[in-house]
Amino acid sequence: MAREAGTGKTSVSRYLNGEMQVLSEDLRQRIEAAIQRLNYRPNQMARGLKRGRNRLLGMLVADLTNPYTIEVLQGVEAACHALGYMPLICHAANEIEMERRFVQLLTTYRVEGLIVNALGAEEAVLRPLRGGGIPAVLVDRTVEGFDADLVGLDNGDAVSLGVQHLLDQGFDAIQFIVQPFQQVSSRRERERAFREAMAARGRPAEPAVVLDPNDAASTERALAEIAARIDAVHRRGGKRLALFVANAPVALIVARHLRTQFGAAWQDRAALLSIDDPEWAELIGITTIRQPTYDIGYKAVEFVHERIEGVTGDARVVLLPGTLVERASTVHVIEAAS
Amino acid sequence: MAREAGTGKTSVSRYLNGEMQVLSEDLRQRIEAAIQRLNYRPNQMARGLKRGRNRLLGMLVADLTNPYTIEVLQGVEAACHALGYMPLICHAANEIEMERRFVQLLTTYRVEGLIVNALGAEEAVLRPLRGGGIPAVLVDRTVEGFDADLVGLDNGDAVSLGVQHLLDQGFDAIQFIVQPFQQVSSRRERERAFREAMAARGRPAEPAVVLDPNDAASTERALAEIAARIDAVHRRGGKRLALFVANAPVALIVARHLRTQFGAAWQDRAALLSIDDPEWAELIGITTIRQPTYDIGYKAVEFVHERIEGVTGDARVVLLPGTLVERASTVHVIEAAS
DNA sequence: CTGTTAGCGCATTCAA
DNA sequence: TTGAATGCGCTAACAG
């Protein structure tokens, strides 16, 4: 390339970096022409190697099949585009081993920063980042012992919003349903927030039903429990039981099961409300609390970017508010199907 | 690092590449220790720069919000893992400009191969790959003028499966619904396959309803058309109209609209069948034709891998069969909700 | 078995 | 304004 333009590589480099003020018009044109002729593309890897920054930003997600993740991703992509980063998306597929492997990999590829929607509480998995001096920002979940910026949903506020809505609708029995929550901070917070929201309104909260989608036995047990609760409330002759589900994947499992159990009219038996607003919620009229997913992703990138640029200081926490999306599922009188 | 272990960098390199037979036990241990002490991670970029291969594999997708894409991705990831590649996922978000930008970017990053779920027919967008000598494999869609391996669904077979099923169920009116199909090969094929499948069975096919989700006016027009057709069939007093939708995103739009129009019991008015098997299909009992998405992704990686390894020859085409998943939507007598 | 030498493609001194 | 020299971190000859 250097000699194709009849010049030294220095000038080519200058051209690539847009230092036009330092190039004679003639030379500039010769280089331009040569680039066209050779279809020349500078090698980003080499550039990165030389100047120590490659504009790569890692995005490590736990579960791509969760619509939440995809939505966050969109915010991340938009921000990366705006700030000039190339997002490197890695999918751990809910496997801690994958997560570990990707952290290693991203470290060796020297990404400049990393956004982590971590699987769980394994601080050890993220430790290589520290060693490599790679700034990280957590999304949705904290990791014990790992001090980093966090951006996510204001879980307390969101749950309170849902509880208030259900009470306003006149439901007197509310059952909270959540995945095993000890290891995942956002689930833990939602479970706690539910108890507190109920208590604050003078209602005792039944213990949460815990449903682990990765464990058939646990799932079955949880679904049976839910069925029993629905039955009990039904026999008591009160309103339908309201099911407050902590996130969309679980809500889907519950809804699927209720449908098998009670048929197409299952919503006459139980009212469903879920955090997350997946595409099917609108389709069957489920009230949800929508997370500001796009903003979460965008903000996360802004945070890593600041850290990359050298901002120091204590870990920051940004909790964005959710929005209640009212649909038919929580209206307490269901109109008969015409 | 070299001197931390008290040796030359060559030996370190050898260690990293697992050439243990050529290293004395003593040296091996010294290097191992040094690695621990320094928390040393080899720089992949530098390695890649040197040997001309960086184990990076690009995956350019048109639309991550489409469940199809996610599922294909899982196959891609699995295959990458198996073959030692690091998948670099790029999301064009249905924007041709993004697609162009990513192709450029991936080219400058010198990915070794690329799997493309292209937006449309723009061969020009993919041209840089040729210049860079980067092998590409197309997924689901061909790109006119771009000669490359292709792996996707056997559209003809899949559509025929669906048509046969609907006829078996006794439906006498079938309406095909599809996105603008001129630019996208898979849609084109499905539309054609529908006409052919009908003709082969001695039924004339009504022209397909074309619905463009990105165009509000078009969407409205299409939905009105569908409503009119449903009405006409209804008045004629025959069976419900069967709607054969070419993919899940469109099916969702149609289902949502029918629900608003006819209420929760909308399935009494129209039978829905769709290619793709999204999570909500099970939830509301929609018959679908499931694509072998995982296998598609896996096979695509195997193909690029072979090309990377130097396999030459004509472009190959692999069309995998879909599977009919029968659900309540196409049973011609709907049981009354209990 | 081990170290020395030479570059991968580029950006950054420093001189000219 | 330009170019030559130097080195980013690593691997691949080539010698010892």
Query: What is the SS3 assignment for A279-328?
Result: HHHHHHCCEEEECCHHHHHHHHHHHHHHHHCCCCCCCCEEEECCEEECCH
Q: How far is the CA of A26 from the C1' of D2 (A)?
A: 12
| pLDDT score recorded for residue B65 | 95
Write out pLDDT tens, residues B292-307.
999 999 999 999 999 9
* Distance separating alpha carbons of residues A309 and A243, to the nearest angstrom: 45
Average pLDDT over residues A319-332: 94
Cross-chain Cβ contact A49/B46 below 8 Å: yes
Cross-chain Cβ contact B279/A74 below 8 Å: no
Q: How far is B337 from chain A (nearest CA, A)?
A: 6
Cross-chain Cβ contact A107/B41 below 8 Å: yes
Nucleotide nearest to B14 (CA to C1'): D11
Cross-chain Cβ contact B41/A108 below 8 Å: yes
Average pLDDT over residues A219-229: 97
User: Which among B88, B91, B284 is the nearest to A77, CB-wise?
Assistant: B91
| pLDDT score recorded for residue A332 | 67
Confidence of residue A334 (pLDDT cuts 50, 70, 90): very low
Portion of chain A with pLDDT greater than 90, in percent: 78
Footprint of strand C on the protein (CB under 7 A): A 1, 9-10, 12-14, 16-17, 41-43, 46-47, 49-51; B 6-11, 14, 21-24, 26-28, 46, 49-50, 52
The residue of chain B with its CA nearest to that of A338 is B265
Write out pLDDT tens, residues B54-74.
999 999 999 999 999 999 999
Mean pLDDT rounded to a whole number for chain B: 93
DSSP for A76-133 reads: HHHHHHHHT-EEEEEE-TT-HHHHHHHHHHHHHTT-SEEEEE-SSS-HHHHHHHHHHT
pLDDT at B284 over 90: yes
Average pLDDT over residues A187-201: 98
The residue of chain A with its CA nearest to that of B53 is A45
* Distance separating alpha carbons of residues B296 and B303, to the nearest angstrom: 11
Average pLDDT over residues B228-252: 93
Contact B329, B285 (CB under 8 A): yes
Q: Which of B318, B289, B321 is nearest to B149 (CA)?
A: B318
pLDDT at A84 over 50: yes
pLDDT at B197 over 90: yes
Best residue in A49, A101, A262, A280 for a mutation probing chain B (most B CBs within 10 Å): A280
| pLDDT score recorded for residue B237 | 81
Which two structure tokens, joined as six digits, stand for B91? 């999301």
* Distance separating alpha carbons of residues B292 and B302, to the nearest angstrom: 15
Angle at A240 between CA A235 and CA A241, to 5 degrees: 95
Cross-chain Cβ contact B45/A48 below 8 Å: yes
**Residues near B317 by Cβ (< 8 Å), separated by ≥ 6?**
B149, B150, B151
Average pLDDT over residues B241-262: 97
Nucleotides of C under 7 A from a protein CB: 1-5, 7-13
Mean pLDDT rounded to a whole number for chain A: 93
pLDDT at A221 over 90: yes
Nucleotide nearest to A23 (CA to C1'): D1
pLDDT at B336 over 90: no
Q: What is the three-class DSSP state of B334?
A: coil
| pLDDT score recorded for residue A333 | 58
pLDDT at B337 over 60: no
| pLDDT score recorded for residue B143 | 94
Write out pLDDT tens, residues B107-158.
999 999 999 998 877 888 999 999 899 999 999 999 999 999 999 999 999 9
Question: Which residues in chain A are contacts of B91 at CB distance < 8 A?
Answer: 73-74, 77, 89
Q: How many residues does chain B have?
A: 338
Question: Which residues in chain A are contacts of B263 at CB distance < 8 A?
Answer: 335, 337-338
Q: Which of A5-19, A129-143, B323-337 has the lowest mean pLDDT?
A: B323-337
The residue of chain A with its CA nearest to that of B262 is A338
Q: Which of residues 151-180 of B touch A (CB under 8 A)?
A: none
Average pLDDT over residues A231-245: 90
Q: How far is the CA of B307 from the C1' of C4 (A)?
A: 36
User: Which among B131, B265, B284 is the nearest to A284, CB-wise?
Assistant: B284
Q: How far is A329 from chain B (nearest CA, A)?
A: 11
User: Which among A41, A108, A282 is the nearest to B44, CB-wise?
Assistant: A108
Nucleotides of D under 7 A from a protein CB: 1-5, 7-13
- In this prediction the pTM is 0.93
The residue of chain A with its CA nearest to that of B265 is A337
The residue of chain B with its CA nearest to that of A258 is B283
Residue A24: φ, ψ to 5°: -70, 150
Average pLDDT over residues A56-71: 96
Reported as type and span, the H/E element at residue A208 is: none
| pLDDT score recorded for residue B155 | 98
| pLDDT score recorded for residue B333 | 58
Q: What is the three-class DSSP state of B220?
A: helix
By CB atoms closer than 10 A (0-12, 13-18, 19+), residue B313 is exposed
Portion of chain B with pLDDT greater than 70, in percent: 98
| pLDDT score recorded for residue A264 | 87
Confidence of residue A122 (pLDDT cuts 50, 70, 90): confident
Question: Which residues in chain A are contacts of B249 at CB distance < 8 A?
Answer: none
Average pLDDT over residues A10-34: 89
Q: Which of residues 235-274 of B touch A (CB under 8 A)?
A: 252, 255-256, 259, 262-265
Give chain A's count of helices (H) and strands (E): 12, 12
| pLDDT score recorded for residue B338 | 39
Q: What is the three-class DSSP state of A147?
A: coil
| pLDDT score recorded for residue B334 | 43
| pLDDT score recorded for residue B206 | 95
pLDDT at A306 over 60: yes
Q: Which of A238-247, A284-293, B210-219 has the lowest mean pLDDT?
A: A238-247
Q: How far is B92 from chain A (nearest CA, A)?
A: 10
pLDDT at A336 over 70: no
By CB atoms closer than 10 A (0-12, 13-18, 19+), residue B56 is buried
The residue of chain A with its CA nearest to that of B65 is A70
Cross-chain Cβ contact A54/B45 below 8 Å: yes
Q: How far is the CA of A109 from the C1' of C2 (A)?
A: 29
| pLDDT score recorded for residue A338 | 38
Best residue in A1, A45, A91, A268 for a mutation probing chain B (most B CBs within 10 Å): A45
Average pLDDT over residues A311-320: 97
pLDDT at A227 over 90: yes
Average pLDDT over residues A188-201: 98
Contact B320, B153 (CB under 8 A): yes
Confidence of residue B332 (pLDDT cuts 50, 70, 90): low
| pLDDT score recorded for residue A38 | 87
